[in-house]
Structure 1
């Protein structure tokens, strides 16, 4: 078996040229089909509506959005790039492009550090084919996957441009842009900035301090400013509004709601001990331990050929930067309360970089064994991921049954029901994706799902003016002033109770033609009486 793997790993790129693209294309098809069929998640009620709302409304000012602006504008741009009215489809395609960017980023870093395409393919699979990415973190239209390729590319380009011989100012400029863009998609990606920023003043050691400032620090800083423009625009124009949504909500109302109503378990961690258990399950389950074992095996391959095995080698600048970034990314995952599995995904960016650094340290005659290790690890990971990859394959040739298609069709069904009743006006719901799919108007106070609605009572009185929202206690008053044409309910009995009470009190009638089901319940459309 070992000799077979060794011979397989010894393939040149010319001999493996047909295998790598074919395997990559197959994996790409698996990811695409899974993305199109993954069940709609509640978080998408926040991230998808801006795809439609940004046509006529201002982010933060006109509707609630508790994230940095990159994800909202990215999904919006993808929709207009394809000219489609299918909101969920547009957002999921945006995630698909990020998958491509992540795979491409790993290939780019691998080529710069290793110059071996078989290694690059193995690194992509070992990083991407893990349980976390094949579930909500990588399959739902949220911002959880979006910063990863930019954090990886930024850190990898810094290592290549400043820590490995000749200084490359242009590469460092691109690294700064990439790291800043990661933060524009998710604020926690700032974890990769401090280590790189400090290292910029220290490496390379052979460069005089003044030249280091000019050739390393300056390009990195300028690139960072350019990449941060999406955040700087909002931060400069309306700083209090921006900070209230992005930071104030997460440090105030969000914690208050989960402390009062949340229960641990099922991917929710409130206590420090529960967060540690959850992080451990993310970092040391599925494909991740296999990738970590591959890194350690590469180090062992190097050491077994090293006559100075008894002495620990000095850590390189590149490995120090990567280690510091990894520790910070792991620590940042523990800051939010409650903790969710996706909060611990950022640290996984370090895996392909660690693989590349470990493999690049091998001598040419050691790389054959190293590739054998990687090929074996890749085979194990692919076999373990087969159930996830194959889950939706029977639907590949039936796009009418895809989740993205069904969600759009449900929206159209709501519009048809209103038309049959001769009604027009706003739809009141905590699941705004459905009416927005059919270009139906919704209340701006509820336009991005239940998140600020359910937390409004925990908002500091001095901060509530920064949110356009209502609450279970005040939503009835909102409807009295501006009665809805219909109410779409059935997805959260507790939070929807005030909406249902209003419908019953004012004689709204349920339309039986709208009865689709998702993972949260069965839709019930209550229409205004004639």
Structure 2
């Protein structure tokens, strides 16, 4: 056999890696169906409409948006890429792309780090079968899931490059870009940056400080700066406006609103006790309990191995410290937002998976033999526990009309046709569910373009802060609508919040269309149309 023939032979384990990737592909196909069939969520009113409204309307300035902007631009780019047809489909397709990127990243990085089929399979199944991620945080068109693949790549590439004998400049640039992008999608993902930024000055320990500055610190900083350019643009353009939406909203009126309305959400986690209980339910049950088991199991194996007299000293202590610090920070940041919701508790999953990879590298041959049976059993349990969540997604392949974006599009078309028939298609539609008129190509009020989130906090917002928001509250609706009357109201999903809109419609002679409804998981929506109009 010649040298060229040998170079074409598959490397050991590559066939297994392809098999794992193929299996992950099947699970991803099922997840795609689940995402597309998942019932619409109120949070999507904030994230989805901007995909169509941008760039004709500016984020923060022309409409309210309470998060860093990268996910909004991602949804918009995908919306344009798929031809500008269905805005909800574009947002959820973007989220699915995040699942694909995360699955590929986990397989490649964990394989490079461990060369263990059991660890790689467990890690990717832990993501694709995770009951927390298979619920709202990973299904809806929002910014909750999208930081995960970029945070994993940023941290994972840093670890694998500093563990390698040679650090590749462009790979570390990519690591820095990914970390900035994660923080630009969701502000809480910034916690991944400090441990890596500090660790870059010390890792890898085997090279001189000067070489480390050039080969590790410089590319990371360069990548971080590149990834943060859009954030710097928004911050520099109008810092007060940007911070009012991204920071002050979450620390002021948002908290006050929920304190005043905690009865609307039984079990709402406002204090430390409630947050701790929620964290316990999410981290120590189901799939994440098996992740905790694996982390404790691997730590135990390392501990008993190091108690042996002849156990070699680890050369990867720095990387372990980086991952442990990142894990501690992600655990801490989960408790910071008030009130707490399940989506705030997803970040630790990323660093814990990478911790498994670092710990596995400490094992000697005897310890590695113990890993496949334990992780194999855990992998099987994850798949069995995920079956009830996998099953509903298959229905969307049988009948595409059952996808949520198809339902939204059909309802939007129904609204458009009715308003066109009544000669009202040129006016604005007032609603706390703007995805329907936006999808239909109808006009919406900028104050309601992202749903209820600005409207409901107006009574709890300091007047100076309120000047930074494009918003109108319940007390100002009469004057607001009198100056610019809507052609129609779409109501029926939030009776308490919608009451002032309904009162205005009834007092001003708007007529309810009784022969059509717009149903979703929040209720039966109905139209009130402006008179004179012929509804028949």
Q: Which residue of 1 aligns with 2:284?
A: 284
Q: Does 1:483 align with 2:495?
A: no
Q: Which residue of 2 aligns with 1:448?
A: 450
Q: Which residue of 2 aligns with 1:9?
A: none
Q: In the alignment, is the contact (CA less than 8 A) between 1:45 and 1:448 conserved in 2? A: yes
Q: Which residue of 2 aligns with 1:132?
A: 132
Question: How far is 1:75 from its partner?
Answer: 0.5
Question: How far is 1:400 from its partner?
Answer: 1.0
1:55-101 CA deviation, whole Å, 9 max, x = no partner? 41111110000000011000111111111321111100010000011
Question: How far is 1:401 from its partner?
Answer: 1.6
66-75 vs 47-56, greater mean Cα deviation? 47-56
Q: In the alignment, is the contact (CA less than 8 A) between 1:126 and 1:377 conserved in 2? A: no
Q: In the alignment, is the contact (CA less than 8 A) between 1:127 and 1:291 conserved in 2? A: no
1:317-338 CA deviation, whole Å, 9 max, x = no partner? 1110000001111111111111
434-443 vs 157-166, greater mean Cα deviation? 157-166
Q: Does 1:158 align with 2:158?
A: yes
Partners of 1:129 and 1:266 in 2: CA distance: 28
Question: How far is 1:306 from its partner?
Answer: 6.2
1:524 partner SS: strand
1:244-288 CA deviation, whole Å, 9 max, x = no partner? 111111111111111111248656310111011111211111101
Q: Which residue of 1 aligns with 2:194?
A: 194
Partners of 2:274 and 2:304 in 1: CA distance: 40
Partners of 1:144 and 1:31 in 2: CA distance: 16
Q: Which residue of 2 aligns with 1:63?
A: 63
| 1:380–1:254 Cα change, 3 Å | same
Q: In the alignment, is the contact (CA less than 8 A) between 1:453 and 1:471 conserved in 2? A: yes
Q: In the alignment, is the contact (CA less than 8 A) between 1:92 and 1:141 conserved in 2? A: yes
502-511 vs 203-212, greater mean Cα deviation? 203-212
Q: Does 1:528 align with 2:533?
A: no
Q: In the alignment, is the contact (CA less than 8 A) between 2:16 and 2:117 conserved in 1? A: no
Q: Which residue of 1 aligns with 2:273?
A: 273
1:430-449 CA deviation, whole Å, 9 max, x = no partner? 00001111111100001000
Q: Which residue of 1 aligns with 2:391?
A: 390
| 1:319–1:46 Cα change, 3 Å | same
CA RMSD of aligned residues (A): 2.2
1:195-230 CA deviation, whole Å, 9 max, x = no partner? 111111222333333332222211111110001112
| 1:267–1:432 Cα change, 3 Å | farther
Question: How far is 1:408 from its partner?
Answer: 1.1
Q: Which residue of 2 aligns with 1:469?
A: 471
TM-score norm. by structure 2 comes to: 0.92
TM alignment of 1:201-220, pairs within 5 A = 201-220=201-220
Q: Which residue of 2 aligns with 1:4?
A: none
39-48 vs 119-128, greater mean Cα deviation? 119-128
TM-score norm. by structure 1 comes to: 0.93
1:131 partner SS: coil
154-163 vs 86-95, greater mean Cα deviation? 154-163
Q: Does 1:436 align with 2:408?
A: no
Q: Which residue of 2 aligns with 1:30?
A: 30
Question: How far is 1:18 from its partner?
Answer: 6.9
Partners of 2:20 and 2:260 in 1: CA distance: 51
1:327 partner SS: helix
Unaligned runs of 5+ in 2: 1-11
Q: Which residue of 1 aligns with 2:519?
A: 517
Q: In the alignment, is the contact (CA less than 8 A) between 1:417 and 1:513 conserved in 2? A: no
Q: Which residue of 2 aligns with 1:492?
A: 494
Q: How many pairs are equivalent?
A: 520
Partners of 1:260 and 1:267 in 2: CA distance: 14
Partners of 2:498 and 2:178 in 1: CA distance: 41
1:104-156 CA deviation, whole Å, 9 max, x = no partner? 11122113212345532321112331211010000011100010111111111
TM alignment of 1:78-477, pairs within 5 A = 78-117=78-117, 119-263=119-263, 268-301=268-301, 308=308, 316-364=317-365, 366-424=367-425, 425-477=427-479
| 1:471–1:264 Cα change, 3 Å | closer
59-68 vs 361-370, greater mean Cα deviation? 361-370
388-397 vs 203-212, greater mean Cα deviation? 203-212
2:181 partner SS: helix
Q: Which residue of 2 aligns with 1:3?
A: none
2:509 partner SS: coil
Q: In the alignment, is the contact (CA less than 8 A) between 1:67 and 1:246 conserved in 2? A: yes
2:528 partner SS: strand
Question: How far is 1:358 from its partner?
Answer: 2.2
Question: How far is 1:392 from its partner?
Answer: 3.3
Unaligned runs of 5+ in 1: 1-11
2:133 partner SS: coil
Partners of 1:260 and 1:305 in 2: CA distance: 54
Partners of 2:64 and 2:214 in 1: CA distance: 42
